[in-house]
Structure 1
Amino acid sequence: MPDLLRLSALLHLTGLIAFAGAAHAGCTRTIVMPMVQLPQAPATAPDDSKLHRTVREVGAALGCEFSFPAVPRPRLHQMLLNRQADVMLPAARDPERDAAGVFVSMARMPLELVMRKGDPRRPSDLNALVADAGLRGLMVRGQTWGGALDRAMDEQGATRVHRVSDNITVLRMLVADRADFTVISPDLFRGLGHREELREVVPQLESLPLSGLPDIEAGAYVSKSLNVSDRALVLKVFSTDAVRKLMQVPTSVAASSAR
């Protein structure tokens, strides 16, 4: 009988250990988190930015391995929708993305109007901007200005707002008088002003507050295509203070998005 008791206890302990191991086994596969490939940067750009290092370290502590393929900014949105990306970061909240992923809010980013300096057609508020069909807009493909403004512009047709690959192109086209305005966060606008290729471009533009422009809620999307256990672990990664603090620093948002 003692031997049977010892055997029973051993089997029970083995089961507990196996259960604990399963509970802390980590992610069942590598988590794909595409990083923005900046214009003129190689597709094999290094993934050793502070944000990605932190995500890698926090993920490893939870048993999750991350990969960071470099892709053009416009592809990020489609990769989330097409279940090719497990995480989209940084990302502005958007109803279409809400259908594909769970949003983790990390910061609120104000938006401002950017126009050529001295342009006399500066609108007085958001309604005036929407109403003036003569003002040609530019935005980055896959970017959002917020649901209401996006819809208002889309209803006026594709010619009202032209979409391009990145914000560097947006600013250059504004200066070249190929469009009249864009909408961007002031922190990102200032960050772009430090880029060498825009040194003579940004001084010709101004970022203007516009009454009625909504703030953008920024954070991360975690794909709903992940299984329940993996999704819970990845959500935990992006809920940690270590990751959230990096997203709340404006320069880190500007540097990682460059959109």
Structure 2
Amino acid sequence: MKYLGNISMGFGRNTALLRIFLFFSVSVFGAQALAACSRTINVPLAATGRSVIINGEKIDGIYPDILRNLTETCKFTLTAVPRARMELMFETGRADLLIPASRTPKRDEHGIFIPMIYNRATIISIDSNRPVITSAQDLLDKKDLKVVLVRGFDYGPTYQDLIRQLNKQGRLFFDADPLSVARLLKAGIADITIMAPSILAGAMMDDARVQDMLDKLRVEPIPELPWGDSGAYISNRSLNKEDKAALKDLLEQVAKSGTVWKGFMRYYPASVLMESIRPR
């Protein structure tokens, strides 16, 4: 169990510098001979910490900036949607990319996965004197603790099994996005959430209503939620063979360039990344 410690509020304000940095990083391979997409690629996006920042109709963050700097090969239309709708759009062939996304068996049924970083979901709560939670069963046994999750998040079979069991116990809430989850934790309506710490901390950094909680976040990894792959899914349903191949080549080049990890280092303090994000 660890605490995130002193988190600077300035990381979310470096968007312009990050875009310049990403432009030159992506340009390293952008000039290579890659097949172009035959049409504009539809990418719905949901608020995901600093990975995707939604402010009204404005979309920023690590992944949107990367996609915007790939237009010499493929053009992307970015639209803001709730996370659950984003997942449904991908499953039903109305989205060409699902990004960012942890790799799961369910998503593998609908698309081609391109790994970009490693991530990990942990148990997160506000500082308290309760005993440390060391396993999924330990969480299930602490029936007085209420749990809130983001609707549409998925960290694999164990995570889905936890959802089913917590639902049976009547202890589970869902909300639309990480910031809403943070507000429920602050209000005491819920005691615990499960997600990558970078997502929750990123959502809290620039919101005055919850900024005071940042240094109080308590992070507890459990063995049932280990490190896994995170990256992008390319739709098997919405794209033709040529466009799937073009996107696969392009996103694999992004992954190999290290641009994604460098973006995380620009946006986040090291204390957050060490608990939730690792380079490949």
> Any unmatched runs of 5+ in structure 1?
1-23, 255-259
1:51–1:83 Cα change, 3 Å: same
Q: What is the CA-CA distance between 1:99 and the residue it aligns to?
A: 1.2
Higher relative contact order (CA 8 A, sep 6+): 2
Any idea what the Cα deviations from partners look like across 1:197-246, whole Å, max 9, x if unmatched?
32123344322333443224210010001111111111112111378623
1:41 aligns with one of 37, 43, 55: 55
> 1:55·1:237 contact (CA, 8 Å) conserved in 2?
no
| Structure-to-structure mapping, 1:47-62, within 5 angstroms | 51-61=63-73
Letter in 2 for 1:232: A
* Bigger mean CA deviation after superposition, 230-239 or 120-129: 120-129
Is 1:217 aligned with 2:229? yes
- RMSD of equivalent CA atoms: 2.8
Q: What is the CA-CA distance between 1:195 and the residue it aligns to?
A: 1.9
Residue 182 (structure 1) aligns with: 193
| Structure-to-structure mapping, 1:83-232, within 5 angstroms | 83-157=93-167, 159-197=170-208, 198-225=210-237, 226-232=239-245
Any idea what the Cα deviations from partners look like across 1:114-133, whole Å, max 9, x if unmatched?
12211415423232113333
Of structures 1 and 2, the larger Rg is shown by 1
2: CA distance, partners of 1:116 / 1:53: 31
3-state SS of paired residue (1:77): helix
3-state SS of paired residue (1:240): helix
> 2:97·2:235 contact (CA, 8 Å) conserved in 1?
yes
Q: What is the CA-CA distance between 1:252 and the residue it aligns to?
A: 7.1
- Tell me how many residue pairs correspond in the alignment: 227
Q: What is the CA-CA distance between 1:193 and the residue it aligns to?
A: 4.1
Q: What is the CA-CA distance between 1:57 and the residue it aligns to?
A: 4.0
Any idea what the Cα deviations from partners look like across 1:5-35, whole Å, max 9, x if unmatched?
xxxxxxxxxxxxxxxxxxx873332111123
Residue 76 (structure 2) aligns with: 66
1:186–1:125 Cα change, 3 Å: same
2: CA distance, partners of 1:253 / 1:146: 26
> Any unmatched runs of 5+ in structure 2?
1-33, 269-280
2: CA distance, partners of 1:242 / 1:130: 37
Is 1:234 aligned with 2:247? yes
Letter in 2 for 1:145: Y
Is 1:248 aligned with 2:248? no
Any idea what the Cα deviations from partners look like across 1:74-123, whole Å, max 9, x if unmatched?
32111101211100111111222211111111111123211221141542
2: CA distance, partners of 1:56 / 1:175: 35
3-state SS of paired residue (1:33): strand
Any idea what the Cα deviations from partners look like across 1:167-188, whole Å, max 9, x if unmatched?
1111111122211211222333
1:118–1:102 Cα change, 3 Å: same
1: CA distance, partners of 2:94 / 2:204: 32
1:75–1:245 Cα change, 3 Å: farther
Letter in 2 for 1:185: A
1: CA distance, partners of 2:140 / 2:179: 24
